[in-house]
Structure 1
């Protein structure tokens, strides 16, 4: 057998092997793909963009005693709520938000507050605010508290 015929035979054998592998893979994976596609179509609903309203709560100042001196924390917060046709009355909630934030943060040590990541601080503030609103039988007009600025002095 000549070299060119041998190379052609090996090439043909490789093409048949690859095609067979692709066919077997498709045949084995086809039931799973159909099931996943069917489940995705049955439960998938079009996602509508959610619009939010934000209300700024600027310059919440907290004074904490530290090692031999006082430290100041200045926070700018933003209250996030879903946008709706009914206007939210954030202005009435602001004094309660300020009071809750100052009273919660005043109970922490300087080192503890300084070492908190922003995400943990936001989560703690949300928990404290919702608990404070609930204890005063007030409805919180927001869903999330965002820290938009934090200055430590």
Structure 2
């Protein structure tokens, strides 16, 4: 009987050892996939190690927050009449956004939007059509608008807050 038991445990055609081999290969494959996924996660995901590595002297850059500068009616653009040497009427239409790095500054911009719009309207309508035709004139206007909004934010919240003013659309006629 002992001879019969050993014969039954080891099949003659070898199917049992093939099943074990397939199971072992499958387990090794699953372990390799899991290890690769874990390695990928730790290499590509922003982790606590990156945050811990940042020093106090090197501030962490926050994402930009863009605030559309709108009139009280919700219009996204400014339309003003420009001064001109040829005594013709020229118009400027500008879509304006303020770039900051803080949701608190965004909230302050929203709160003080009527003042910002009024002062930007005055700034835009005091411009010369001839000066704004060149790229330097547009850059100078953007710098003036940035300084204006920063001064308003300094006055209202105690910090400039706004990085820059952007013209997302600028049309003159």
What's the TM-score bracket when you normalise by the shorter of the two chains? 0.5 to 0.7
Residue in structure 2 matched with residue 62 of structure 1 by the alignment: 80
Q: CA RMSD in A?
A: 3.0
Larger Rg belongs to: 2
- Encode CA deviations 1:22-54: one digit per residue, 9 max, x unaligned: xxxxxxxxxxxxxxxxxxxxx9x7774421211
| Structure 1: 4+ residue segments shifted above 6 A | none
- Encode CA deviations 1:71-127: one digit per residue, 9 max, x unaligned: 110111111111347862332222222111121122222111222434332212112
TM-score by length of 1: 0.56
Cα distance, 1:63–1:46 mapped onto 2, change above 3 Å = same
Please, which of 97, 108, 111 is the counterpart of residue 89 of structure 1? 108
- Equivalent residue of 1:69, what SS? coil
**What does residue range 2-41 of structure 1 map to in structure 2 within 5 Å?**
none
Output the CA distance in 1 between the equivalents of 2:130 and 2:66.
30
- Counting strand residues as a fraction of each chain, which structure ranks higher? 1
Shift of 1:145: 1.1
Residue in structure 2 matched with residue 123 of structure 1 by the alignment: 143
Residue in structure 2 matched with residue 27 of structure 1 by the alignment: none
- Unmatched segments (≥5 aa) in structure 1: 1-42
- Indicate the structure whose relative CO is greater, using CA pairs within 8 Å and at least 6 residues apart: 1
